[in-house]
Amino acid sequence: MRKEYSNIFGKVFLTVDIDKKNHWVHNDWIGYLTRDNVQSGALAYLSAVRESGFSCVLNDNSKVLGSWDHSLEWTAKEWAPLAAKAGIRYFALIITPDSMAESSASNFSSLITAFEIKVFSNVTDAKDWLRYQ
C-alpha cells in the first residue's frame, strides 16, 4: 500500500509505503516542510504503522530541503508518545549530510526517547540496521 500526501499547492511532500517484504513502513519526505506538513504527515504514517503491525520505520529525509526545527517540540512532546503507542520501536532516519535538514534530524534524534532512533547518511546502512532489529 502506497499513499501520497500533498501540500496546499498540490506538490507531494510525503510518500508512505508499507513494505511487507521487509516488515517496515517506508516514509519518503520531499521538499520544504511546513509545520502543518510535518504534523499531518507524521500522524498519517502512524496509521500505516498501526495497520501493518510493524515496529520499524525507514524515514527518508534525504530529499528534504531546509530545516524543520519548527516542529521539533511537537514531535518530541506530542508525536513521539503516539508513535510508541502505535508500535514504533526502531526508527532509521536517513539524511543528507551537510544540509539544513541534517541539523533538524540530529536535534530530533536527541529529543526522542520513546523508541530507538539511528541517523544514517545512506539508505543501504539504514536498511541493514532495520533488518537486524
Domain spans, the chain: 2-132
State pTM to two decimals: 0.92
Instruction: Provide the pLDDT for residue 78.
Output: 93
Query: CA separation (Å) from 93 to 9, 11, 130?
Result: 26, 22, 11
Instruction: Name the percent of the chain lying above pLDDT 70.
Output: 95
Summarize the confidence of residues 44-57 as an average pLDDT: 96
Determine the CATH number of domain 2-132: 3.40.50.10600
Q: Which residues contact 43 (CB under 8 A, 6 or more apart)?
A: 79, 82
Amino acid type, 60? D
Output the pLDDT for position 79.
95
pLDDT in tens, 89-130: 999 999 876 666 667 777 787 888 899 999 999 999 999 999
